Structure 1
Amino acid sequence: MTGARGHDVPPGVDPEAAKKTLLARRAELVALSEAAADSRKAVELDQQSIGRLSRQDALQQQAMAKAQDARRAHEIRRIDAALKRLAENDYGWCVECGAAVAPRRLEIDPCAELCVACAR
């Protein structure tokens, strides 16, 4: 397979396995985000049922849930970018210098878009 940059798939890279892994991780992240939607809702001010410390705890939990959701959204964007590179046959090639990304690096992080040298 030749990509848009004129490359064949790098040796040791299995595009189908990468796609399967990326899609599974994306589905998992979307499900987690949907399951945690209630945690990100506004904390209601009800002094009779929630004391001051309980409200502070609820606000802290809400902030942590929002931060987790932001991390999930960032990871989904990375996955979507990797899926786009797969579709364009550019997966496994560094987006900066065009060198092959090490297959072991892609096993650890299927979203990796930089070779080791450019990632430094």
Structure 2
Amino acid sequence: MTDRTDIDLEAFKRRLQERKAELENVSESADEARRPVELDQTRQGRLSRMDALQGQEMSKAAERRRQLELKRIESAFQRMEEGEYGYCVSCGDEIALKRLEADPTTPLCIDCAEDAGR
């Protein structure tokens, strides 16, 4: 566990668990949209197929974003278990509480995040 007294670790853990469950539910319900598009011209026209293909690609992109967020959540859980949650994985400084409240999965303090963005 973290030694930071300004963090309610259990509240962050609950919030992350709820978000994980939400992402997993959405992922399961969107499975149909990621299935291969049938290209039988006798059943649907060219524009309908194009629309279906576009919808499929959008669904795949959304799934990739969900999977990335799930990985970030798992990483945050791991940092909690190791007692490193709330500390920057790059420099070791504390991550501001407001930053954690905005994104509880963030692994970087604002300075390191800005440096990584350059």
Does the alignment reach a TM-score above 0.5?
A: yes
Q: Please list every run of at least 4 consecutive aligned residues from structure 1 whose deviation after the TM superposition is greater than 3 angstroms.
A: none
**In 1: Cα distance, 2:44 partner to 2:109 partner:** 51
2:36 pairs with 1:55: no
Displacement of 1:23? 0.6
2:65 pairs with 1:102: no
* Cα deviations by residue, 1:32-64 (Å, 9 ceiling, x for unpaired): 000000000000112122100000000000000
Structure 2 residue runs of 5 or longer lacking an equivalent are: none
RMSD, aligned α-carbons: 1.0
Q: Which amino acid aligns with 2:52?
A: A
**In 2: Cα distance, 1:84 partner to 1:46 partner:** 47
What is the aligned partner in structure 2 of residue 87 from structure 1? 81
Number of residue pairs aligned between Structure 1 and Structure 2: 114
Higher relative contact order (Cα pairs below 8 Å, separated by 6+ residues): 1
Q: Percent identity?
A: 50
TM-score, with length taken from structure 1: 0.91
Structure 1 residue runs of 5 or longer lacking an equivalent are: none
TM-score, with length taken from structure 2: 0.93
What is the aligned partner in structure 2 of residue 39 from structure 1? 33
